[in-house]
Structure 1
Amino acid sequence: GYDCYQNALAERVNGILKNEFLLYECNTISELKQLIDESVYVYNHVRPHLSLNMRTPAEVHDSYLCPA
């Protein structure tokens, strides 16, 4: 079923991709795919998130898999 909160999350992620990562126009679909792949990697592994106490999503995920 449709949940309006799911759309809000998708719109937030799309906005972050457009405003922070996809800053130039790609000439081919393969360029766009590569740029999106790099952007998702940076978002998950490099960019700290305030809501995660300045940790990356990957760090938080890994901490649940292997608690210290």
Structure 2
Amino acid sequence: MKKQILSLALVATMVGAIAAGCSSSKTASGSDSTSTDTSKKMAPAATDTTAKPDTTKKDTTTKPVH
């Protein structure tokens, strides 16, 4: 009997978590931490203008064609 009550409580908890996580209601207050602020523009990434030598070695071995 204890296992049935525990399993029912766990199922209810999982269903509640899924319902809360997948809710489609939108908040008007903007308190969503995953929302992005599109009013600010991000600065472009800094580019390094100095050329660096290529240190990787090319595979010059020929492979047989099958």
Both structures adopt the same fold (TM-score exceeding 0.5)? no
Bigger-Rg structure (1/2)? 2
Q: TM-score, normalised by structure 1?
A: 0.31
Quick one: higher RCO (CA 8 Å, sep 6+), 1 or 2?
Answer: 1
